[in-house]
Amino acid sequence: MLDQRNHQGKFAEDYVRALASAAGLLVYKDDLDHDGIDLGFRHPGRSGYIASPAIEAQIKSWSAPAVQGPDLIFRGLNEVQYNKLAAGPFLVPRYLFLVVVPAESEHYARVETDGLTLSRLCYYRGFEDDEPIPDPSPKRYATVRVPLGHVLTVRALRELVGAPTGSPA
């Protein structure tokens, strides 16, 4: 059995994979997590003039969310990780996907008569207007505000990728 930290992280990644599957997107993973990206998402078709639009994401899980006004206040990225999201411009847009999970792993998923429910929500944040941190340290942590209104849904994921938002088929 996985230890709590790895179990929580794996669940978060699988949660996002389930959303991508429902959205009809391809999911890819680099052979090494060297560039701060956990998963990539690609629409296997055209969207206007663009073929195979894509995004990439760092996926973090969180069981004790801190809320301040309209935002989650996340302090789980060290400055080096933060810069791997903010120090663009990147050819493929990068996002933080923050999966809020229950504290107890037995509450991650529920099977009911209407289907499977994955617990809690995933939020997203882009960094295209953020400045990188000069002289980043892996020992210092960045404070990242993630709007509570940025819930990652099937539709939101398709919009982030640039895929048509109609039926995934």
What is the share, in percent, of the chain residues with pLDDT greater than 70? Answer: 98
- Residue 169: pLDDT over 70: no
Higher-confidence residue of 1 and 151: namely 151
Is 8 a member of any domain?
Answer: yes
pLDDT, mean of residues 37-41: 97
Render pLDDT for 98-126 as a digit per residue (tens, 0 to 9).
999 999 999 999 999 999 999 999 999 99
CA distances 74 to 62, 105, 138, 162, Å, are: 9, 21, 16, 26
pLDDT in tens, 130-159: 999 999 999 999 999 999 999 999 999 999
Compute the distance between CA of residue 164 and CA of residue 83 in angstroms, rounded to an integer.
30
Note the pLDDT of residue 34. 85
Asked whether residue 137 is domain-assigned, the answer is no
**What is the percent of the chain where pLDDT is above 90?**
88
Print the domain residue range for 101. Answer: 4-64+91-125+148-161
In a domain? residue 29: yes
**Coil, helix or strand at residue 22:** helix
- Number of domains present in the structure of the chain: 1
At 53, which CATH number? Answer: 3.40.1350
**In terms of DSSP H, where are the helices of the chain?**
4-22, 79-86, 154-161
Query: What pLDDT does 33 receive?
Result: 79
| C-alpha dist (Å) from residue 87 to 28, 79, 80 | 22, 11, 10
- pLDDT score, position 166: 67
Q: Please give the residue that has the higher pLDDT: either 147 or 46.
A: 147
Q: How far is residue 33's CA from residue 68's CA, in Å, rounded to a whole number?
A: 31
Residue 133 lies in a domain: no
pLDDT at 167 over 80: no
pLDDT value at residue 147: 98
